[in-house]
Chains A and B, each alone.
Chain A
């Protein structure tokens, strides 16, 4: 297993470097350092000299990839790509272009609010998805199954923005049960977490139930289930004890790959609920064209994606002994 993981990690290196180069190239094509300077310096009294000064002070006065004015290794090192993107490889995220803050410190601080929301949403959400999917499979053919399916389709057809606004209105404004938005630290965060978690679960439950229900129904049509039933096991035991365990491969495919992204947070949810997480951070950076932050977050996203895929492969071996690393 270790050899397999090392091999996968080595494969990831060119992908990460590729993502890095591509991000830098795309950004400089769409958004030149002059554009960044103009946006960041504001609207008043922006002289061409002020733009040049900004570029010089923020290290954007170099060519993008090759510096023909330098000699030796400096041809490569004295470029925007090398100065700004290469340090990402050892997690040196540098400073924000907009207000010069340390991006690494900001990520470390902001990942916790994102996790406080996304972890319970994920854990409770997956548990409920599985529970309700099994219930529908259990009650297959009854009106509960039918109503559940209809509800699932309705729930998955609604935009997550609708859930957020309705959730805030119903639970926050009309029933006055939770703060409409906001966040606090430590134990005080609890009351702010409940509503976003409910909304997060609601917005994902329709699709989740439908997917897992299909998995379970496929599973209970297999021979071993028929054998279990023939042995006289109650339906609940067949479903919850035998079918659940065997349905874990498709479940894990769906679930494990999302785990690393939990700390990335939710872009819309965090903005509407004023959660100071990484989702909010990314949206803000995109809006203010803070290239340094966006570059860091894109890089982090690619790392998380690779981590998610490796974790999924590893998890297969844990639930299915037939799967071997090669």
Chain B
């Protein structure tokens, strides 16, 4: 069992299949379904990734969907080094008249 009752999990659903979507969409969007993710506590006795389960969301709503993640977490970060921006501060300080030199 990947998840037991009460575990914090993430579920997935297809809200609208591509043929059910609004008519005024660009072609690339029309070709794909409208998908949804939500999180909550597993209400079923136990489940594996891929099972259709029911959750109670943090505010208490009940939603059904496919179990995709147990104990979901965020991993967004401060990105990688972007050397391209490093000139900005040094150049501006230089242009502003060597503020630092006054203190030397």
* Same assembly: no
Binding site for A on B (CB under 8 A): none
Binding site for B on A (CB under 8 A): none
